[in-house]
Amino acid sequence: MEIRRLKKEDYDALLCLLNTSFAAVRKRPVDFLRGQPKMWVRDDVYMGRHLGLFEDGRLVAAVGIYPLELAVGNETLRFATTGNVATHPSYAGRGYFTELFSLAMKEAEREGYDALRLGGEKQRYARFGFEDCGTLFRAELSEKNRAAFDESRYASITFMPLSEDSLAELRYVRDLTAKAPCYVKRYPTEGERDVLRVLRSKYSEAYIAKREGRPIGYLSAADMGKTVTELRAESAEDYLSVACAWQREVGETISLTLAPWMKEELVCLSSVAQTITVLAPSKFKFLHPERVADAFVKLKHSLSPLPSGTLYLEIKGYGVLCLCVDETGASCTLADGARTDASLDSATAAKLLYGHLPPSLFAELPPSAAAWLPLPLTWNFQDLV
What does the pLDDT average to over 113-121?
Answer: 91
Rounded to an integer, what distance in angstroms lies between the CA atom of residue 68 and that of residue 183? 10
The per-residue pLDDT for 370 is 87
pLDDT in tens, 63-108: 999 999 999 999 999 999 988 899 999 999 999 999 999 999 999 9
Amino acid of residue 247? Q
* pLDDT higher than threshold 80 for residue 337: no
Rounded to an integer, what distance in angstroms lies between the CA atom of residue 307 and that of residue 310? 10
What does the pLDDT average to over 263-288?
Answer: 93
pLDDT in tens, 133-166: 999 999 999 999 999 899 999 999 999 999 989 9
The per-residue pLDDT for 180 is 94
The per-residue pLDDT for 188 is 61
The per-residue pLDDT for 229 is 93
* pLDDT higher than threshold 90 for residue 356: no
The per-residue pLDDT for 193 is 74
pLDDT in tens, 15-30: 999 999 988 878 888 8
The per-residue pLDDT for 189 is 60
Bridge partners of residue 50, in order along the sequence:
64
Q: Give every CB contact of residue 332 below 8 A, 6+ residues apart in sequence.
A: 290, 293, 294, 297, 321, 322, 323, 324
Query: How many other C-beta atoms can be found within 10 angstroms of the C-beta atom of residue 131?
Result: 22
Burial of 309 (0-12, 13-18, 19+ CB in 10 A): middle
Is the bond preceding 305 in cis, omega lying within 30 degrees of 0?
no
* pLDDT higher than threshold 60 for residue 190: no
pLDDT in tens, 299-315: 999 999 999 999 999 99
Three-state helix/strand/coil letters over the chain = CEEEECCHHHHHHHHHHHHHHHHHHHCCCCCHHHHCHHHCCCCHHHHCCEEEEEECCEEEEEEEEEEEEEEECCEEEEEEEEEEEEECHHHCCCCHHHHHHHHHHHHHHHHCCCEEEECCCHHHHHHHCCEEECCEEEEEECHHHHHCCCHHHCCCEEEEECCCCCHHHHHHHHHHHCCCCEEECCCCCCCHHHHHHHHCHHHCEEEEEEECCEEEEEEEEECCCCEEEEEEECCHHHHHHHHHHHHHHHCCCEEEEECCCCHHHHHHHHCCCCEEEEECCEEEEECCHHHHHHHHHHHHHHHCCCCCEEEEEEECCCEEEEEEEECCEEEEEEECCCCCCEEECHHHHHHHHHCCCCHHHCCCCCHHHHHHCCCCCCCCHHHCC
* pLDDT higher than threshold 60 for residue 54: yes
Rounded to an integer, what distance in angstroms lies between the CA atom of residue 375 and that of residue 232? 22
* pLDDT higher than threshold 60 for residue 57: yes
Averaged pLDDT of the chain? 92
The per-residue pLDDT for 37 is 86
The per-residue pLDDT for 381 is 82
User: b vs e for 356-380, b when ≥16 Cβ sit within 10 Å of the residue's Cβ?
Assistant: beebeebbebeebbbebbbbbbbbb
* pLDDT higher than threshold 80 for residue 34: yes
* pLDDT higher than threshold 70 for residue 191: no
The per-residue pLDDT for 138 is 95
The per-residue pLDDT for 32 is 86
**pTM for the full predicted model:** 0.93
Q: What percent of the chain has pLDDT over 90?
A: 77
The per-residue pLDDT for 215 is 97
Instruction: Write down all domains in the chain, each with its CATH number in brackets.
Output: 2-113 (3.40.630.30), 137-279 (3.40.630.30), 284-372 (3.30.1050)
pLDDT in tens, 221-251: 999 999 999 999 999 999 999 999 999 999 9
What does the pLDDT average to over 265-281?
Answer: 92
CB 352, CB 293: distance < 8 Å: no
Name the residue with higher pLDDT: 358 or 232. Answer: 232
* pLDDT higher than threshold 60 for residue 182: yes
CB 206, CB 231: distance < 8 Å: no
Rounded to an integer, what distance in angstroms lies between the CA atom of residue 232 and that of residue 178? 11
